[in-house]
């Protein structure tokens, strides 16, 4: 970049200087030649006035002039009446404004017609040499030939130094970023105090490093927690399998089958939950949008909980409500909400859904101990349990509410926790409206 900027600046300046030098040279040449022509015309007018006043005899012997001029007096018939020593011997080409070569020297001709004192018609012809003009133009061309490359070199050198200093912080940041590894994400770049674009770039890169560090920490914690969660059901299965192999008479086949099914279902729920969250993290949580009746989903979950016979389920708040969304993900959202409430309820839960503000609001209440206000954001983090031992005993993976939040956000909605009228916790999910297909 430094070389490209320097080359571009030098090229632009060089082109401008060369063009300016050429234009200046031609303008100067035209101006100097115009000055020579004006001097010749003044001399011709003065010579014509003298001849008109005193005749050609007043000219005397013109001889050799010492001021780079040629002077001629030409009669009406074209004959030369008087001439300086360096003047040409014929006046055929001495037209007004012409440039003629005499003895390897160029003269600009001025011609003025006049009537001599004796009544004859004559023409006063004066030629001014262009040699001073040529010398001046040669000197100017030499100066330009030297000064233009020097100026281009100076601009290139200045640009190289200025760009180098301007890019020095960028190069320093590049080296610092190049040194960042997975184990040094906590390091930060030096932020210049200039407040310019480079300082903002450093601030942005530090923000990126902070986000990467946070994502890495979350990923490591997720992997660690997931490994711990997977180890528990696998250990249970291994324990029963070893016991059945060593002491088959002590293990009932029915009991073994129930343990395998229960722990297998727990593993399946855990793996499926991690897959949903992984797709959400990657932005790959695709929605197959169809018309979904949220009231039907809640009633199905209510029937499932009632079938277990452990707690009462109140569905009096369920109203016919339809949204446009992914049926499988919304079913998982409602199941996780109901399972979470059922695990923490003492005697019963209450399910409700209704249209609201052009969308849909789903609420699930329990009559448990509730969730402290300080922990209401934390419970949506992955593998977080406020009552770790109780949640493990009832089969919770710590991913249920995380999945609820990701599914709600994927549909453009949000979830929050409030106090339930029964004294426990209320989970409130707000989903936006969508046009029905019917």
Q: What is the pLDDT of residue 282?
A: 67
Q: What is the pLDDT of residue 316?
A: 94
CATH assignment of the domain containing 105: 3.30.450.20
- Residues 317, 412, single domain; the answer is yes
136-145, 252-261, 353-362, 429-438: segment of lowest average pLDDT: 429-438
CATH assignment of the domain containing 185: 1.10.287.130
- Residues 69, 40, single domain; the answer is yes
- Name the pLDDT band for 345 (thresholds 50, 70, 90): very high
- Evaluate whether residue 438 is within a structural domain: no
- Evaluate whether residue 165 is within a structural domain: no
Q: What is the pLDDT of residue 391?
A: 46
- Evaluate whether residue 325 is within a structural domain: yes
Q: What is the pLDDT of residue 171?
A: 82
Q: What is the pLDDT of residue 34?
A: 92
- Name the pLDDT band for 60 (thresholds 50, 70, 90): low
Q: Are 6 and 159 in contact, with CB atoms under 8 Å apart?
A: yes
- Name the pLDDT band for 116 (thresholds 50, 70, 90): confident
* pLDDT tens per residue across span 198-218: 888 888 988 988 888 887 887
Residue 290 has pLDDT above 60, yes or no: yes
Rounded average pLDDT over 29-54: 87
Which pairs from 46-51 meet CB under 8 Å and 24+ separation? 47/71, 47/73, 47/112, 47/124, 47/126, 48/112, 48/113, 48/114, 48/122, 48/123, 48/124, 49/114, 51/114, 51/116, 51/117, 51/122, 51/124
Q: What is the pLDDT of residue 352?
A: 95
Residue 151 has pLDDT above 90, yes or no: yes
Q: What is the pLDDT of residue 288?
A: 85
State the pTM of this model. Answer: 0.52
341 vs 230 pLDDT, higher one: 341
Q: What is the pLDDT of residue 294?
A: 93
Average pLDDT for the chain: 84
Residue 57 has pLDDT above 90, yes or no: no
- Evaluate whether residue 173 is within a structural domain: no
- Residues 395, 258, single domain; the answer is no
- Name the pLDDT band for 398 (thresholds 50, 70, 90): confident
189 vs 394 pLDDT, higher one: 189
Q: What is the pLDDT of residue 350?
A: 95
Residue 252: burial class (beta carbons within 10 Å; 0-12, 13-18, 19+): exposed
- The residues facing 367 across adjacent strands are none
Pairwise CA distance, residues 23 & 19, whole Å: 6
- Evaluate whether residue 327 is within a structural domain: yes
Length of the chain (residues): 438
* Pick from 339, 336, 303, 308: nearest CA to 318: 303
- Residues 184, 224, single domain; the answer is yes
Residue percentage of the chain with pLDDT more than 90: 31
Its domain, for residue 227, covers 180-284
- Residues 340, 360, single domain; the answer is yes
- Residues 263, 326, single domain; the answer is no
- Residues 7, 139, single domain; the answer is yes
- Residues 311, 196, single domain; the answer is no
Rounded average pLDDT over 270-289: 76
Rounded average pLDDT over 260-275: 79
Q: How many domains does the chain have?
A: 3
- Residues 200, 129, single domain; the answer is no
Q: Are 417 and 371 in contact, with CB atoms under 8 Å apart?
A: yes
306 vs 77 pLDDT, higher one: 306
Domain boundary among 232, 251, 284: 284
Diameter of the chain measured on Cα atoms: 161
CATH assignment of the domain containing 332: 3.30.565.10
- Evaluate whether residue 172 is within a structural domain: no
Q: Are strands 80-83 and 121-129 parallel, antiparallel or unpaired?
A: unpaired
Sign of CA dihedral 357, 361, 366, 372: negative
- Count CB neighbours of 377 within 10 A: 10
Q: What is the pLDDT of residue 61?
A: 61
Domain boundary among 237, 266, 284: 284
Q: What is the pLDDT of residue 303?
A: 93
Residue 393 has pLDDT above 60, yes or no: no
- Evaluate whether residue 36 is within a structural domain: yes
- Residues 254, 331, single domain; the answer is no
Residue percentage of the chain with pLDDT more than 70: 91
Contacts of 390 (CB under 8 A, 6+ apart): 343
Rounded average pLDDT over 238-249: 83
- Residues 242, 302, single domain; the answer is no
- Residues 255, 297, single domain; the answer is no
Domain boundary among 284, 318, 346: 284
Q: What is the pLDDT of residue 81?
A: 79
- Evaluate whether residue 261 is within a structural domain: yes
- Name the pLDDT band for 437 (thresholds 50, 70, 90): very low
Q: What is the pLDDT of residue 436?
A: 39
* Pick from 385, 346, 386: nearest CA to 366: 346
Q: What is the pLDDT of residue 17?
A: 94
């Amino acid at each position: 970049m430094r070389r490209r900027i320097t080359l571009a600046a030098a090229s632009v300046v060089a082109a401008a200087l060369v063009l300016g030098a050429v234009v200046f040279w031609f303008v100067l040449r035209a101006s100097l030649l115009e000055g020579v022509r004006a001097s010749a015309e003044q001399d011709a007018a003065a010579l014509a006035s003298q001849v008109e006043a005193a005749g050609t005899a007043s000219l005397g012997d013109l001889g050799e002039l010492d001021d780079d001029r040629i002077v001629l007096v030409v009669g009406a018939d074209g004959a030369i009446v008087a001439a300086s020593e360096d003047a040409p011997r014929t006046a055929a080409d001495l037209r007004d404004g012409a440039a003629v070569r005499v003895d390897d020297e160029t003269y600009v001709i001025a011609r003025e017609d006049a009537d001599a004192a004796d009544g004859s018609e004559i023409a006063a012809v004066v030629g001014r040499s262009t040699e001073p003009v040529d010398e001046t133009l040669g000197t100017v061309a030499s100066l330009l030939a030297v000064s233009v490359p020097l100026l281009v070199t100076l601009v290139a050198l200045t640009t190289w130094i200025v760009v180098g200093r301007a890019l020095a912080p960028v190069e320093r940041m590049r080296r610092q970023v190049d040194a960042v590894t997975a184990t040094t994400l906590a390091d930060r770049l030096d932020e210049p105090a200039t407040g310019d674009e480079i300082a903002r770039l450093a601030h942005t890169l530090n923000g990126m490093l902070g986000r990467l560090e946070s994502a890495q920490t979350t990923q490591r914690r997720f992997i660690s927690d997931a490994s711990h969660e997977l180890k528990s059901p696998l250990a249970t299965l291994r324990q029963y399998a070893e016991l059945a192999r060593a002491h088959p008479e002590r293990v009932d086949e029915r009991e073994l089958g129930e343990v395998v099914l229960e722990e297998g279902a727990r593993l399946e729920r855990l793996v499926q939950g991690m897959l949903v969250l992984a797709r959400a993290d990657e932005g790959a949580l695709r929605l197959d949008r169809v018309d979904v009746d949220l009231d039907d989903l809640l009633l199905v979950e209510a029937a499932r909980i009632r079938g277990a016979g452990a707690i009462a389920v109140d569905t009096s708040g369920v109203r016919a409500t339809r949204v446009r969304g992914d049926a499988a993900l919304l079913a998982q959202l409602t199941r996780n909400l109901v399972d979470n409430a059922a695990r923490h309820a003492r005697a019963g839960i209450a399910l409700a859904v209704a249209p609201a503000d052009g969308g849909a609001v789903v609420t699930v209440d329990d009559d448990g101990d509730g969730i402290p206000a300080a922990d209401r954001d934390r419970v949506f983090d992955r593998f977080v349990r406020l009552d770790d031992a109780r949640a493990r005993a009832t089969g919770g993976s710590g991913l249920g509410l995380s999945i609820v939040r990701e599914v709600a956000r994927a549909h453009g909605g949000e979830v929050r926790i409030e106090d339930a009228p029964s004294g426990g916790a209320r989970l409130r999910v707000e989903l936006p409206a969508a046009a029905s297909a019917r």
